[in-house]
Structure 1
Amino acid sequence: MSPSLAPATTGIDALTAWLDETAEGLDDGSVPASTVLPALGAAGVLAIGAGPFGGEGDIADAVEAVAGVSAHSLAAGFVFWSQRTYLEYLLQSPNAALRDRLAPDLVSGRLAGATGLSNAMKFLSGLEELQIRARADRGAIVFDGRMPWVTNLRPEGFHVAGVAEGEDGRILCVSFAGDDEGLVRSPDLGLMGLRSTNTAALSVASVRLDAERVIHPDAAGWLPQVRPAFLGLQCGMSIGLARRSLREAREAIGAGRSVLAPAIAELETRLAADAEALRSGLRSGLFRGQAAALFRIRIGLAAIAAEAVALELQASGGRAYLTAFGSGFARRYREAAFIPVITPSLVQLKGALTPHDQGAA
């Protein structure tokens, strides 16, 4: 199988084998980003929890699927997160026509979906102002602004969700298409890893849309409903990376490093507890009213991922620093460094928690 091509057969086993073969290339960009979505679509993972569009399970099952992919390649997990999160917006949108038109191509991987709502989620937590403005003009809505960092902007075709503030103060969520006039995609950003993720910036200059592209007309009230999926699916990346590093650490310890076994077991217990708390909170709807609880889980899982990679290094010893043996570890080390800065970053989440914690003191 050529590492530049998607798996020729379908199913989870074929996807797993392909990800293990291409993980380094997806990280350094030598395997084309265009291969990722077709591989995920062929394996059926994009449809998990997608209800009428072919997927069994719920959003918690989708988080587990993101974790499963991320254990083999965080680049692929990052794309998966963006795709499945955009799909979730449509599943929770009152715009059935837009959902029915786009969802089949999203679950198959023929069309890319980008969340584009990082700015909006930070706005929701009082961390920054919205970066897109909207105005009415002759029966259309005209948008101006920018999205400085968006993943899964696949040149072969994409839709991206964006939130804008109107002249009347109303906030709405819309779906921009890659071929909309006035929407300009930058070249891929020069990331130090996760390069095959089609991550770029977008300029929004007098883009005209009509009502058929409105995902939700009242985003201020709607965003808290979709935030649990946005952050929950994001947590799947930390869970998958931590599980993989802990497995590698456990397999690497020998008689000389058995002293690490208690630390590995303790971290496995913490990881399982946080993953269960996430799963339970998503299914019960807890996080819609208690965002702080979800923020703490996201922060905790990022810390666990970093500790897991550190334990993998200690268990592997100097061999992890040899290029002949340590390429997988080196990639996971870079991946762990990326987890804290995914928007909203850990610094931003901790800042959002500060008033809450002070009020509880």
Structure 2
Amino acid sequence: MLDPALSQWLEARAQALDLGDCDPQLVLSQLAKANVLRVGISPELGGSGGNLADAVEVLAEVASHSLAAAFVFWGQRAFIEYLLHSPNTVLRDGLLPALLSGELAGATGLSNAMKFLSGIEALQVRGRTSDTGWSLTGRLHWVTNLRKSGFVVAAAIDDEAGGPPFVLAIPGALAGLQRSADLQLMGLQSSNTAALALEQVEVDRDWLLHEDARAFLPAVRPAFLGLQCGMAIGLARRALQEVEAHLQDDRSILLEPLQDCRQQLAQTVSELKAGLLDGRFLTRPAALFRLRIALAESAASAVQLELQASGGKAYLSEHGSGFARRWRESAFVPIITPSLVQLRAELQRQAREATA
């Protein structure tokens, strides 16, 4: 159950968070204050216990109020997950307290890397060995949670010497690392989403998350995508709640599709949580891809059903602002990297290879 104070804060500011009228600096602080960042992390490491499925559930609760806040939550929690999977325990122990308290923002930066893993895209940051670590050059085109007061971003690096690609945590204050102005998105504006340009950025070896991206990325992909699914889950649940609230006698025809939608959503969520807990997605990523697609489709169907249940009121600015925001949020879910198009292409590729 989400902290009531956080629920109220998010509900009151959902529209402002979406349109960029709320200071993005506040989002992470509010999440940290409510201790949602600690869910699914061992108490020995500063967490509140539980597992990854619990973290997905609390992220979904945040998303039911504001997808912008959930997007920030996902970026922060995914970066924390990278630290938990890294053999660099010194780095983990050094960064984790500030990340859990919300003092430091963690940015995933691995969207490009996940596409690289599936053969969709080349790595966009290159590294040349230096005396103390690496000199980096390249660009990350779309990264969320790049808080201006301080961030650290994860990135997969293409080794110019021909070695295996590796994964670094890159502090935001390094010379040569330039953050763009916030991207002008259709919504989710208070999410500190921007691009990063790297020009001969010197990073010490102490910031190495893993020496082999091809081993590290499959290990963190279930958490990366599983937490991402929480956004679709929360949005779908909220839209279906709104459908129920709007149902009147003249719209009772929507009761059956509402029940069908809820049943399908619950079944898909159950499959997702089971897979995250038993580890099946480590060796069967295609199963996770299909669930990600199914949850995005559930969110779209739920918002469409909300429109039908609301009727013309949904198109009136005075009454339909919440629906309009959820409509924009539902348009974002399919294009979060990896997008549904990319996931379907990867599933087709795997199917062709299986029959070849």
Instruction: Specify if TM > 0.5.
Output: yes
Distance (whole Å) between structure 2 residues aligned to residue 281 and residue 117 of structure 1: 22
CA contact 2:60–2:232 (8 Å) conserved in 1: yes
Q: What's the % identity of the aligned pairs?
A: 52
- Supply the AA of the counterpart residue of 1:310: Q
Q: Does 1:358 align with 2:352?
A: yes
Which residue of the partner structure matches residue 144 of structure 2? 151
Aligned counterpart, 1:132: 125
Equivalence map 1:289-308=2 (5 Å): 289-308=283-302
Question: What CA distance in whole angstroms lies between the structure 2 residues aligned with 1:116 and 1:316?
Answer: 38
Question: Deviation per CA, 1:72-115, whole angstroms, max 9, x where unpaired?
Answer: 00000000000000000001111111111111111111110000
Aligned to 1:204: 198
Cα deviations across residues 109-164 of structure 1 (Å, max 9, x unaligned)?
A: 11100000000000001111111111112232111111000000000100000000
> Shift in Å at residue 193 of structure 1?
0.5
Match of 1:17 in 2: 8
Shift of residue 279, structure 1, vs aligned partner: 0.2
1:267-306 equivalence runs, <5 A: 267-306=261-300
Partner residue of 1:27?
18
The equivalent of 1:171 in structure 2 is: 165
Q: TM-score, normalised to structure 2's length?
A: 0.97
Residues 250-269 of structure 1: matches in 2 within 5 Å? Answer: 250-269=244-263
Give the residue type in structure 2 aligned to 1:73.
S
Q: For residue 184 of structure 1, what is the aligned residue in structure 2?
A: 178
Unpaired runs of at least 5, structure 2? none
Deviation at 1:359, TM superposition (A): 4.2
Match of 2:336 in 1: 342
Q: Which runs of 5+ in 1 are unaligned?
A: 1-10
- Secondary structure in 1 matching 2:190: coil
Which of the residues 59, 63, 68 maps onto 1:66?
59
| Cα deviation, residue 184, structure 1 | 0.4
State which drifts further: 48-57 or 128-137.
48-57
Kindly provide the amino acid, as one letter, of the partner of residue 350 in structure 2: H
Report the CA distance between 1:341 and its aligned residue: 0.6
2:313 corresponds to 1:319 = yes
Q: Distance in 1 between matches of 2:93 and 2:269?
A: 32
TM-score (norm 1): 0.96
What is the deviation of 1:165? Answer: 1.3
Distance 2:171 2:143 in 1: 13
The two structures, once aligned, show a CA RMSD in angstroms of: 0.9
SS in 1 for 2:127: strand
Q: What is the aligned residue count?
A: 351
- Give the 3-state SS of the residue equivalent to 1:87 in structure 2: helix
**Letter of the aligned partner of 2:62 in structure 1?**
V
**8 Å Cα contact 2:132-2:205 kept in structure 1:** no
Displacement of 1:22 after TM fit? Answer: 0.3
Q: Deviations over 1:163-212 (max 9, x none)?
A: 00112231110011110111100000011100000000000111111111
Amino acid at match of 1:38: S
Q: Which residue identity is paired with 1:156? A: S
Question: Could you say which residue in structure 2 is the equivalent of 1:116?
Answer: 109
Deviates more, 1:185-194 or 1:46-55: 46-55
**Paired AA for residue 301 in structure 1:** L
Compute the displacement of 1:26 (Å): 0.2
Structure 1 runs of 4+ off > 4 angstroms?
none
Q: Tell me how far apart the structure 1 counterparts of residues 328 and 264 of structure 2 sit (CA, whole Å).
A: 22
Amino acid at match of 2:261: L
- Other-structure match for 2:39: 48
| Secondary structure, counterpart of 2:317 in structure 1 | coil
Residue 175 of structure 2 aligns to a residue in which SS? Answer: coil
